[in-house]
Amino acid sequence: MTMTTPTVANVLHTAYQKSVASYWNNERHPVNLLLGDIDGLYHHHYGIGDYDPSVLKGPEDTRDDRIIAEMHRLETTQAKVLLDHLGDISSSDHLLDAGCGRGGTSLMAHQRFGAQVDGVSISEQQVQFANDQARQRGVADKVRFHFRNMLDTGFETGSLRGIWNNESTMYVDLFELFAEHARQLEFGGRYVCITGCYNDVTGGRSRAVSRIDEHYICNIHPRSDYFRALAANNLIPINVIDLTADTIPYWELRAKSSVATGIEQPFLTAYREGSFHYLLIAADRI
Ligand SMILES: C[S@@+](CC[C@H](N)C(=O)[O-])C[C@H]1O[C@@H](n2cnc3c(N)ncnc32)[C@H](O)[C@@H]1O
């Protein structure tokens, strides 16, 4: 790695990035922490798959625990599906989790492939938290988290076999992001993202999508931008999966839980009206 010591001044380049970093540095919401406490995999992404309706039945005093455990299962399933699309990864490969949050997907990737995984986030709190998790699991020599900007990571050119963004592309310009990913990936290396994007077919940003942007201080991109920016950077899609129908049950369950944050209805509206998709895209670096 060639980067100088990361400081707020050389990692956070814009006022916008400072506000996003501040959001994540101060984020302590139970919807993330209580779920992660279950098995030490802390996710900041949504879930996919049907929920088990029996969690809503049974004793009232343990109902919420059952819902939380089920939501965590669906979020972990989402990360598994992302990792399924990384292709053949060996223990000698090097992977990057771009916008890594508290590191859940990185830890799962190392557990599955044995590979070295580096995660970057512009939140120093998240990086510290994630490194603590790696230490507690005894994998800190293979899974490392860094206070770095994914638009300018400092990792060597052509050094990575795989890179993913798990719900972190909506904070950056896609052309800049994919240029940096293309620089770091070796020839034939794989890129995977799971993201929410708005639907060019139904028009511009719907009201529900705008509410999501405002809630998370993000800038949801149109679907078309992903494919333009990938093509412009020698990243050629091999798989595109619309996960929208698969994520709706998660949001329905979350709306019934004690950890709902109020953003559930805009997500459900946006998905149901068709103005927003939940997409997985996998692409190869040529
Ligand atoms: C919604 S969270 C997703 C976290 C993680 N990928 C997961 O699935 O749990 C978005 C993450 O993107 C990170 N992020 C936003 N802009 C970034 C940037 N320019 N460079 C690095 N990380 C960034 C945030 O700090 C946060 O960790």
Mean pLDDT of 131-158: 98
Task: Name the pLDDT band for 5 (thresholds 50, 70, 90).
Answer: confident
For the full predicted model, state whether its pTM sits above 0.95.
yes
Task: Name the pLDDT band for 30 (thresholds 50, 70, 90).
Answer: confident
Q: Is 150 in the pocket of ligand 1 (CB under 6 A)?
A: yes
Using one digit for the tens of pLDDT, what is the confidence trace for 149-173?
999 999 999 999 999 999 999 999 9
In total, the chain counts a number of residues equal to: 286
Percent of the chain with pLDDT over 70: 99
Q: Is the pLDDT of residue 2 over 70?
A: no
Q: For the sheet with 185-198, list strands across it.
A: 143-147, 116-121, 94-98, 160-166, 185-198, 276-285, 235-242
Instruction: Tell me 189's DSSP state.
Output: E
Q: Among residues 151, 148, 143, 174, which one has the least CA distance to residue 283?
A: 174
Q: Is 24 in the pocket of ligand 1 (CB under 6 A)?
A: yes
What pLDDT shows up at residue 12? Answer: 96
Q: Is 121 in the pocket of ligand 1 (CB under 6 A)?
A: yes
Q: Whose CA is nearest to atom 23 of ligand 1?
A: 99
- C-alpha to C-alpha distance for 130 and 140, rounded to whole angstroms: 10
Coil, strand or helix: which one is 184?
helix
- C-alpha to C-alpha distance for 86 and 163, rounded to whole angstroms: 8
Mean pLDDT of 98-126: 98
Distance 251 CA to ligand 1 centre (A): 21
**At 5, phi and psi to the nearest 5?**
-55, 125
Using one digit for the tens of pLDDT, what is the confidence trace for 267-277?
999 999 999 99
Half-sphere exposure of 120 (CA within 13 A, CB side): 21
**Scanning the structure block, which residue is given the tokens 């997985």?**
280
Task: Name the pLDDT band for 3 (thresholds 50, 70, 90).
Answer: low
What pLDDT shows up at residue 34? Answer: 86
- If 0-12 CB within 10 Å is exposed, 13-18 middle and 19+ buried, where does residue 52 land? middle
